[in-house]
Amino acid sequence: MTTPQTTLTRPVDDATLRKAFSVRERPARPSALSASLALAWRALLKIKHVPFQLFDVTMFPIMMTVMFTFLFGGAIAGSVGEYVQFLIPGILVMTVSMISMYTALGINTDISKGIFDRFRSLPFWRPAVLVGALLGDSVRYTLASFVVITLGLILGFRPGGGIMGVALALVILLLFAFSLSWIWTLIGLLMKTPESVMMVSSMASFPLTFASNVFVDPTTMPSWLQAVVSVNPITLAASAVRGLMHGTVTSGDIAGVLIACAVLVGVFAPLTMYVYRNKNAH
C-alpha cells in the first residue's frame, strides 16, 4: 500500500514538486454564481463535519411551537386546535428569523480568521462570501421548517392550501430568511466580538418578532402599534406564508413580502458590502 518512502532524507519529492509548480495558466474568473456555490459548498461541508450544530435548529422550533401553542392557545383563540392553524405559519417565520441571526455570528467569527485574507486576495465576485454563507444556511431553515410543520401536523395543524400551498410558502420563507440575513451580516461585520453580535441581534430581533402578527391578530392593538406592525417585514412574511398555507393568499400578501425582501436586500446588502470591502483595508 503506502510505500515507506525516503521520508527522512527527502521529505518532499523533487519531481512531483517541480511538476506541481508548473501551472501558470489562469482559468477565467469564476462567475458570481459559481463563486457563491463554492462558498455554499463550504458551509454545507461544515454542517456535514459537525452535524451537532443542527441541534439548535431542531430544538429551538420544537420549544417555540409547543410553548406558544399551549401557553396562548386557550387564551387567545379559545382552543389549542384553532390557535395552531393561526400560529404555525407565524412560528415558521419567527423561527427562521431567529436562526438567521446565527449567520451574523458565523460571519463575525469567520472574518477574524486567516481564511478571510485568502478570500480577499482571490479575484472572485466579493459578495459571494456572504451569499454563499446565506445559501448554505438554507439547509438549516429547511430543516427547521420541517420540524415545525411536522410538529404542527401532530398538534392538529391542517393547511388548507395543500402540499402545493405549503411548498410555495416554504419558498417564500427561504427568500425572506435570505433577505433578512443581510441585516445580521451587517451587524456581524460591524461588531468587534461575537458577544456583542449576539446582544445587538437579539435586541433587534425581539421587537421585530413580537411587534408583528405572529402571535396575535393586530386588530386589537392600539392604532399606532397597528401602523408599526403592518410595515414590519415579519408581519408581511407571516401574512404571505399563512395565506399560502391555508389557500387564502391575496396578491397583496405576495406583493407585500416581495417588496419587503427587495427593500431588505436593497438597503442592507450594499451597506454590508461597503463595510466588508473596507474591513481591515485601512
Partner 1 sequence: MPPTGYAIEVNDLRKSFGKVEVLKGINLRVERGGLLALLGPNGAGKTTTVRILATLLQPDSGTAKVLGHDVVREADSVRRRVSLTGQFASVDDELTGMENLIMVARLLGYSWSDAKTRATELINAFDLAEASNRLVKNYSGGMRRRLDIAASIIITPDVLFLDEPTSGLDPRSRRQVWDIVRTLLAAGTTVLLTTQYLEEADQLANRIVIIDHGTVIADGTIGELKTSVGSGTVHVRLYDPKDRPAAEQIMAQTLGVAVHLESDPAALSAQVSNPERVASTLSNLSQAGISVTDFSLGQPSLDEVFLALTGQPAEDQPAATEEYA
Give the length of the chain.
282
How many whole angstroms separate alpha carbon 58 and alpha carbon 77? Answer: 26
Stretch that binds partner 1, among 4-12, 82-90, 189-197, 250-258 (CB under 8 A): 4-12
| Site pattern 75..114 for partner 1 (x: CB under 8 A) | --------------------------------------xx
Member of 26, 51, 222, 223 binding partner 1 (CB under 8 A): 26
Straight-line distance from the first to the last Cα atom of the chain, in angstroms, rounded to the nearest whole number: 52
Crossing angle of helices 55-77 and 128-155, in 10° steps, is: 50
HSE (side-chain half, CA atoms, 13 Å) at 169: 32
Smallest distance, Å, CB 124 to partner 1? 5
Smallest distance, Å, CB 177 to partner 1? 22
Member of 3, 4, 6, 50 binding partner 1 (CB under 8 A): 50
Member of 3, 6, 22, 220 binding partner 1 (CB under 8 A): 22
For residue 112, what is its C-alpha cell? Answer: 477574524
Residue ranges in 112-193 assigned as alpha helix (H): 115-121, 128-155, 162-190
Which CA distances in Å does 53 have to 57, 103, 264? 8, 12, 27
Report the residue number, 15 or 163, with the smaller CB distance to partner 1.
15
Residue 4 three-state SS = coil
Member of 3, 4, 6, 21 binding partner 1 (CB under 8 A): 21
| Site pattern 111..150 for partner 1 (x: CB under 8 A) | --xxxxxxxxxxxx---x----------------------
| Amino acid sitting at position 119 | F
Report the residue number, 26 or 222, with the smaller CB distance to partner 1.
26
- What are the residues whose beta carbons fall under 8 Å from the beta carbon of 46, sequence distance 6 or more? 53, 136
Report the residue number, 62 or 126, with the smaller CB distance to partner 1.
126
| Amino acid sitting at position 256 | G
- Applying CB under 8 A, which residues contact partner 1? 2, 7, 10-14, 16-30, 34-35, 38-39, 41-42, 45-46, 49-50, 113-124, 128, 280-282
